[in-house]
Amino acid sequence: MHQAEVRTIIKVTRTSGQSSVFFSEALEHSHYSGLVQNYGSHSVQMRSHVGLLTRNIVIKGDGQGEENSYHVWNVQSPSNSAAAECGNGLCEVGETSLSYIPDCIGPAWEYGVSILVGSYNEDYTLCDQYLQCQAGYRRKFSGRLELDNVEMRYFGQNNLRAGIEVLGLGEAGVNVSITKTSMNRGYFRAIDIQNTNGASIIGNLIFRSHLPMLRIQSGIGNIITKNLGTVAIFWNTHRGAIQVCLPCNPPPSLFV
């Protein structure tokens, strides 16, 4: 997964029916695309996938260092040292990626942007002039979401909340549509749908997200198709799962 590369397009030319794309920097790795690869009795088509990360509309969290490749971003080791020592390569108590760049290449907070779509009930009670009350009625309010061609950059909150959460909408899930959206670098899973029916998740790009990138729980009739996910992060080996760099000195018991 460390060969997934991000580049800026600076020019596109077309000659004799063929297009050429020029990047700001050369690619570091070869990206194979061929018709068929044979593995024993099985034949597999191998294709390099290309996804557009940027959009005109950006919903952005606070990013610190995430523009580095993940294998660089994740290389720093945490430490439970009581004192920070700049330049020793360890992310220690009191250090952040803003103040100790050589040590904390990765994120200081891992607390990015998140969209929550949910529902709630309002219960009404009927009372007369003698304060004799009886059950009234209940109204349910359900959120709606139509996200199309939007970039979610630095999304999700480590071990807390996905970049987009759709919770408890039931049949009102048909009012949720996430299409052609770029989930660009995150701290937790990208999309999480629970107890919701009929949501549409179509043609989205998920780049660098904790596993599972997209989770569906207790829902029926949800449409999940033509989505591309790349660079998946296993939480138990990600540095943020062990320790985040805090700008203060919390009790040592917070660290493992």
Rounded alpha-carbon distances, angstroms, from residue 135 to 37, 122, 123, 139, 172 = 67, 12, 8, 13, 25
Give the model's confidence band at 20: pLDDT under 50 very low, under 70 low, under 90 confident, else very high. very high
Question: What domain range includes position 196?
Answer: 115-237
Do residues 62 and 112 make contact, with C-beta atoms less than 8 angstroms apart? yes
At residue 256, does pLDDT exceed 60?
A: no
d(CA 112, CA 32): 34
What are 23-38's pLDDT values in tens digits?
A: 999 999 988 887 777 8
Residue 171 lies in a domain: yes
Which of 152, 185, 181, 175 minimizes the C-alpha distance to 70? 185
Residue 73 lies in a domain: no
Do residues 189 and 214 make contact, with C-beta atoms less than 8 angstroms apart? yes
Residue 156 lies in a domain: yes
d(CA 247, CA 84): 11
> Per mean pLDDT, which of 93-102, 137-146, 171-180, 242-251 is the most reliable?
171-180
Q: In a 3-state reduction of DSSP, which class is residue 183?
A: strand
% of the chain exceeding 90 in pLDDT: 47
CA torsion sign for 169, 154, 2, 202 is positive
Residue 206 lies in a domain: yes
Q: In this predicted model, which residue has the larger pLDDT, 16 or 86?
A: 16
Residue 106 lies in a domain: no
Residue 181 lies in a domain: yes
At residue 108, does pLDDT exceed 60?
A: no
Residue 256 lies in a domain: no
Residue 243 lies in a domain: no
d(CA 153, CA 102): 24
Q: In a 3-state reduction of DSSP, which class is residue 94?
A: coil
Do residues 216 and 222 make contact, with C-beta atoms less than 8 angstroms apart? yes
d(CA 106, CA 76): 7
d(CA 2, CA 31): 12
Rounded alpha-carbon distances, angstroms, from residue 234 to 103, 213, 237 = 22, 10, 6
Do residues 178 and 154 make contact, with C-beta atoms less than 8 angstroms apart? no
pLDDT the model gives residue 74 = 65
Give the model's confidence band at 244: pLDDT under 50 very low, under 70 low, under 90 confident, else very high. very low
At residue 107, does pLDDT exceed 60?
A: no
pLDDT the model gives residue 205 = 97
Q: How many domains does the chain have?
A: 1
How many C-beta atoms surround the C-beta of residue 253 within 10 A?
6
What are 226-237's pLDDT values in tens digits?
A: 999 998 888 776
Rounded alpha-carbon distances, angstroms, from residue 8 to 23, 24, 53, 70, 129 = 6, 6, 10, 17, 70
